[in-house]
Amino acid sequence: MTAQNLEIIIITGLSGSGKSTALAALEDAGYYCVDNLPVALLPKFLELPTESVAGVSKLAFVMDLREKGLLQSYKTVFDQLARQGFEPFIIFLEAGDEELLRRYSETRRQHPLSGGEGVAAGIRRERERLEVLRQAANRVIDTSRTNVHELKAHIIDVVGKNAPASRLKIHVTSFGFKYGVPREADLVMDVRFLPNPYFMPELKELSGEDAPAREFVLSRQESREFLERFYALLDYLLPMYERERKSYLTLAFGCTGGRHRSVTIAAEVSRHIQEQGREATLIHRDLRPADADRGTEENL
C-alpha cells in the first residue's frame, strides 16, 4: 500500500467507552477494519502489496491496552509512518467513571486492569496510563451520554465520510449543566440567563423543539440580542478556523436541564450556520429522559 489516497483511522480509549461500536460504524461505512492489531504490526500491514487488498483505500484499527506494548511502541511506529507519508487519524473514546461503572455492572464483565481490586481501580489505572495517548489524539469523544446510534453517527461525522477532508465540520449540541458539560466541546455557551419556559405551567412538559416553547424563548429581547451578537462572533471566527485548517468544531449550548433554552438556541445557531453555506450537525444531548435509550458497555 502507498500513502497516497490511503486513509488510516486509529480507534483507542478506555475499556467500555464504545470502541467496538465505533469500529462497526466505520466498517458499515466501507472501511477495512481490524480489532486489536498490535501497533508494531501496522507498518508491516501497510507494506502489503496493493493487489492483495484490492480496492482498499480506507483502514480502521482498534488499538488499546489489551496490547501490553502499545504505550511503549506507538510513538515510534507513528513517527515511522509519518516519515513514509502516512497520516493516521487517532480517535480517543472515553466516558465518566460513574458511566463506565454502570456499564460494567450491567454486563458483569471484568475490567482488564482491575487486578483483583475491582472495576473502579481498573478504570483509574487505565485512565492514568492512557492519558499520554489521549493528549496525542486528533479527536477526543466522551460517550458518557451517547447512545449507540448517536455514537455511530458521530464517528462517521468526525471522519468526514461525505465531506472533503479539508472542509470545516461543525457539530452543534445542546446539553443540561446538571448532567455535565460535554468534554468534546470547543466553545461552551451558558444560556441559563434566558427566560425559562420550565416555569410556565403550559410549557413545562414541552421541549425547545415544540413551537410554543421555542417561540417563548425567541420572543424575548435578550434572546434576539444574544443570537445577533453570537452570529457576529461566529461569522468572524469560522473563516479564521478554516484558514488554520481546523477540521472539526463543536459548539455546545447549555441550560439547566437541556430541554428548553439550550435546545432552541442550538437549533437556531445550526440553522444560521447552514444558511451561511456551511455544514452543521445538530444533537440535543439531554432532550430525552436521563436514562432512556442509553447504551451499555456491551453494545456501546
Confidence of residue 49 (pLDDT cuts 50, 70, 90): low
Above 90 in pLDDT, residue 118?
no
| Per-residue pLDDT, 53 | 58
Query: pTM, whole model, 2 decimals?
Result: 0.56
**Tens digit of pLDDT for each residue in 221-253?**
999 999 999 999 999 999 988 876 677 899 999
CB contact burial 125-147 (16+ within 10 A = b; e otherwise)? bbbeebeebbeebebebbbbbbb
The region of weakest confidence among 60-74, 108-122, 237-251, 274-288 is: 108-122
Return d(Cα 66, Cα 74) in angstroms, integer: 14
| Per-residue pLDDT, 267 | 97
Percent of the chain exceeding pLDDT 90 equals 53
The region of weakest confidence among 14-18, 51-55, 146-150, 161-165 is: 161-165
Confidence of residue 219 (pLDDT cuts 50, 70, 90): very high
Q: Which residues contact 270 (CB under 8 A, 6 or more apart)?
A: 172, 280, 281, 282
- Side-chain-side CA neighbours of 227 within 13 Å: the count stands at 20
Above 90 in pLDDT, residue 148?
no
Which of 3.40.50.300, 3.10.110.10, 3.40.190.80, 3.40.50.720 would CATH assign to domain 7-159?
3.40.50.300
Return d(Cα 163, Cα 225) in angstroms, integer: 33
Confidence of residue 48 (pLDDT cuts 50, 70, 90): confident
**What residue segments make up the domains of the chain, in order of their start?**
7-159, 169-284
Confidence of residue 2 (pLDDT cuts 50, 70, 90): low
3-state DSSP call for residue 93? Answer: strand
Grid coordinates representing 32 are: 477495512
> In terms of Cα–Cα distance, which of 231, 225, 233, 223 is closest to 260?
223
| Per-residue pLDDT, 67 | 86
Above 50 in pLDDT, residue 294?
no
pLDDT, average across residues 185-208: 94
Above 50 in pLDDT, residue 295?
no
Q: Which residues contact 240 (CB under 8 A, 6 or more apart)?
A: none
> In terms of Cα–Cα distance, which of 148, 22, 33 is closest to 93?
22
| Per-residue pLDDT, 255 | 96
Above 70 in pLDDT, residue 165?
no
Q: What is the mean pLDDT of the chain?
A: 86
Instruction: Classify residue 219 by burial, with Cβ atoms within 10 Å: 0-12, 13-18, 19+.
Output: exposed
3-state DSSP call for residue 139? Answer: strand
CA dihedral sign of residues 287, 290, 291, 297: positive
**Tens digit of pLDDT for each residue in 65-105?**
888 888 888 999 998 888 888 888 999 999 998 999 888 87
